[in-house]
Chain A
């Protein structure tokens, strides 16, 4: 296409890329052309094959078939060193930085420039200053990574890539950990890169980001490239449809909340993490039946520890927790099992790490936490048939696919794993439901189903505490929103008065008085 238009060859051209993992056909006949000096978006649901494609481009996987052309020349990318040599750099969703090293040391990593560090360091320092100037990427070269905010760490990742001569920068879900304001800063940097002729590939599932920053966008679905569009000539609605292959129903209007009695209350709650660092600092909250209370915040501001403490998994260092009017902390019987008996349900933040048994069947995952229930025992022994029947019923009622209780839990998609966990917790008819990041890694169809379940809990008079880093999710579901920053509640907003601007400032730790 580049030649036909009489332009320079495209920065990257993929032709007929195929990749299989066993029975999974992750990439099917994928074609992609990325023009030099553009910001090119790739969108698709989880599992659509975006990450596989990028991993092939970055040399982490080899394609089974197909060819890769860089600047019009066919190349073989066998490992990431090949990719780096070709000027292809990737900024991962989870940063690859040495926490205890300084910015300068991290940037030099892998490009030390000789046996003695001093010369390389001087060169790197000068180069960092130049890059910072050119692209608006200013970071103190002598700051330690562990002391930098997430947005600055991401800038270091980008600097690292540029220092090694990146011509094509791949960013994988770069805004997942950023506040909206930090995301705007990132976009400014990306525009500066484009202005200087570098090429950016942006992987995301957020349609609004695609619309805001990209020049062109390619849509993947089920391993295929289903469409390429000029961003200016498409719309969020069209892209959404292309992504999921059907039209999304408009969300039904929510009935007004009917708040019931306070079912969960925390007073002056403080929680330390395993290392003894205070992560929750004197939090007060009250949660009523029939409402969804959202807790917003950039990941890592104490929401996780708060949720674990409320669920009984982590002993608070101070404060009080009342569940259904009874004080459970401080108290002798403060543990997840006892709280479950008092009808507290908990969908954990990290379902893969703590919510399900990856190597056991879905049936075993379906009784996790409730293994002592006598209803799946016969003659005092666990009856696999009873457990499987229970799992089969949950899978049917909550549309978990495939509805096979014998299938290993790890083999379900993220959305179906989450539906199974929700089914397990909601089926026990809890009075309070704690939910952490319910739609992380869940595809759009699954997100909708999970949101409907949470709204149904609210309609049934249950008290739902929703912790999420997805502002869209919080704004779509919560009746009231608390914003956490550095272990404290920065402010509370009613659903009606919450918008991205206000939430973003609170998430960044700007107190409402100063924000006004």
Chain B
């Protein structure tokens, strides 16, 4: 395996892989009889071309940053948390219970409590698979997948049978009180129609917090040791069972950020299936972001842009099927993740020749 310089590893390689994915997309659009230039333009303009578009892009990116961080932090400990979807869903219950039952409190108290409620429910839902792995040896991948299904079934039951307002036909909770809402970012020039809200700032803070915790504390050191090798962790005297439960709880709490962004920031009520796959996208985001908070933020931005741009693309260029967006996302994941090292030997040769 060729060795490439660090800047090329972190910047050049991902960009080349992304370009490769876009180039292949263009070819496929061409093959289906569409106009690749129009399609890629619509994608770019639709995601970044206006304050409104950017507002949506950042709103989606916020969700993906939270789930990406959730997956990444668990992965630093060698744990593959597939359950961010379910954890985010359960976090919605925590947010909703706080918002509906503590509605008498002022916003300055209610919002933090609702956020804490979401984080706590997400953490608890993730800690159970963590406990099962740590104390019973059940594999975390299997249990977190199972817990996604459990979360979906449980939430349908709760929303339909218990939370729906009496007399309402819509499977959703009553609207939250006015105080239970995160402010939008109108001061930053986003139009009030754009759903981006203060949760974006929370996501950036969470990324910073994860970085500090994982790379600047003894606990994070121990976490990374466990992620590199359980045998080394055992030699170093790290209590791995405890570590697994704690990091899974942290991961679930981070996934809970989706509920904060969606419910407190935009919807102001609990909706059936509001997580709409962000938990799974988070896996791709973490993969592309190399499980590093900075990488996760950038990857979340990219995936947010693809989601928003793709919606516009389907709208603006009707002869391009809307499934093309899913295709692009798939290709991006394929080239940056699964085939992430494909260009490396060639790049190492080129750079090596140029350098010496």
A residues with CB within 8 A of B: 22, 311-313, 335-340, 346, 348, 353-360, 364, 367-369, 371-372, 377, 380-382
CB of A409, distance to nearest CB on chain B (Å): 10
- Asked if B231 is at the interface of the complex by the 8 Å CB criterion, the answer is yes
Instruction: Please indicate the chain B residues that have their CB under 8 angstroms from the CB of A340 in the complex.
Output: 237
- Residues from chain B with a CB closer than 8 A to the CB of A337 are 236-239
Most chain A beta-carbon contacts within 10 A, residue among B3, B218, B234, B237: B237
- Are the CB atoms of A381 and B217 closer together than 8 Å? yes
Check if B212 sits within 8 Å of A346, measured CB to CB: no
- Shortest Cβ gap from B187 to chain A (Å): 32
Please tell me if B222 contacts chain A, counting CB pairs below 8 Å: yes
Check if B216 is an interface residue, CB within 8 A of chain A: yes
Mask, B224-235, CB within 8 Å of A = 1, is 110011011011
**B residues with CB within 8 A of A:** 3, 212, 215-218, 220-222, 224-225, 228-229, 231-232, 234-239
What's the Cα separation between A381 and B215 when bound, in Å? 9
A-side contacts of B238, CB under 8 Å: 337
B3, B216, B225: the one within 8 Å of A357 (CB): B225
CB neighbours of B236 from chain A (8 A): 336-337, 368-369, 371
Chain B residues with CB under 8 Å of A22's CB are: 3
Task: Kindly state the separation between the CA atoms of A368 and B217 in the bound complex, as whole angstroms.
Answer: 13
Is the CB–CB distance between A335 and B216 below 8 Å? no
- A364 to B236: give the CA distance in the assembly, Å: 12
Tell me the bound Cα distance from A43 to B98 in angstroms: 73
Min C-beta distance of A315 to chain B, whole Å? 12
Q: Which residues of B contact A372 (CB under 8 A)?
A: 218
Contacts of A354 in B (CB 8 A): 229, 231-232, 234-235
Q: With A337-B237, A357-B229 in contact, is A381–B224 under 8 Å at CB? A: no
Pick from A336, A338, A382: contact of B235, CB under 8 Å: A336
Contact among A335, A359, A369, A380 with B228 in the assembled complex (CB-CB below 8 Å):
A359
Taking the closest CB of chain B, its distance from the CB of A2, in whole angstroms, is 41
Q: List 3 A-B pairs, minimum CB-CB distance, nearest first.
A: A337-B237, A336-B237, A354-B235
Bound-state CA distance A377–B217 (Å) is 8
A313 and B235 contact, CB distance less than 8 A? yes
For the A-B complex with A358-B228, A372-B218, A381-B217 known, give 10 more contacts whose Cβ atoms are closer than 8 Å: A336-B237, A340-B237, A353-B232, A354-B231, A354-B235, A357-B232, A359-B228, A367-B221, A369-B237, A371-B222
| Closest CB in chain B relative to A438 CB, distance in Å | 15
Q: List, in ascending order, chain A residues with CB within 8 A of B215's CB.
A: 382
Q: How far is the CA of A337 from the CA of B221 in the complex (A)?
A: 15
- Shortest Cβ distance from residue B294 to the other chain A in the assembled complex, whole angstroms: 16
How far is B238's CA from A336's CA once the two chains are assembled, in angstroms? 8
30 contacts between A and B (CB under 8 A): A312-B237, A313-B234, A335-B239, A336-B234, A336-B235, A336-B237, A337-B236, A337-B239, A338-B237, A340-B237, A353-B232, A354-B229, A354-B232, A354-B234, A354-B235, A355-B232, A356-B232, A357-B225, A357-B229, A357-B232, A358-B229, A360-B228, A368-B232, A369-B235, A369-B237, A371-B218, A371-B221, A371-B225, A371-B236, A381-B216
Q: Which of A335, A355, A356, A381 contacts B237 (CB 8 A)?
A: A335
Minimal Cβ-Cβ distance residue in A for B215 = A382
Q: Are B221 and A364 in contact (CB under 8 A)?
A: yes
A residues within 8 A CB of B222?
A: 371
Point out the residues of chain B lying under 8 angstroms from A377, CB to CB: 218
B229 touches A353 (CB 8 A): yes
Cα A186 to Cα B235 with chains together (Å): 36
